[in-house]
Structure 1
Amino acid sequence: MSDDIHPHQMLDVEVQHTDGTYKRFQVLCRIDTLNEVEYFKVGGILYYVLRNLLTS
């Protein structure tokens, strides 16, 4: 899924309630830049920085 994330993209959300019913709706992805997409893909900015430190 995270490979398909783009800044300002509309995303489909599906929630299953405890009674078994579903609710579907769309949300606006608040990832605003391509750098933020990379942070998201690795689990956050801390992991991004640590990964870059370890590979350099």
Structure 2
Amino acid sequence: MLPITIALIVAAMGLPAHAALALFVIAAAALLLVFIGIHNAWDVVIYTAFELFQPDKKSRD
């Protein structure tokens, strides 16, 4: 995720020189960061659902 953030910062610094290209890079990096965030949130939801509704493993009777 750090390379995407660095690309976002570099594109923002290059905005005055190459406006069109920099805006496309900023949009792509921001969209990629949003998709990564959605993916991570989905992983947390799935993990929580499986942990909460898992049958107890403690029964040794």
Instruction: Give TM-score, length-normalised by structure 2.
Output: 0.24
Larger Rg: 2
Q: Hey, which of these two has a bigger chunk of helix by percent?
A: 2
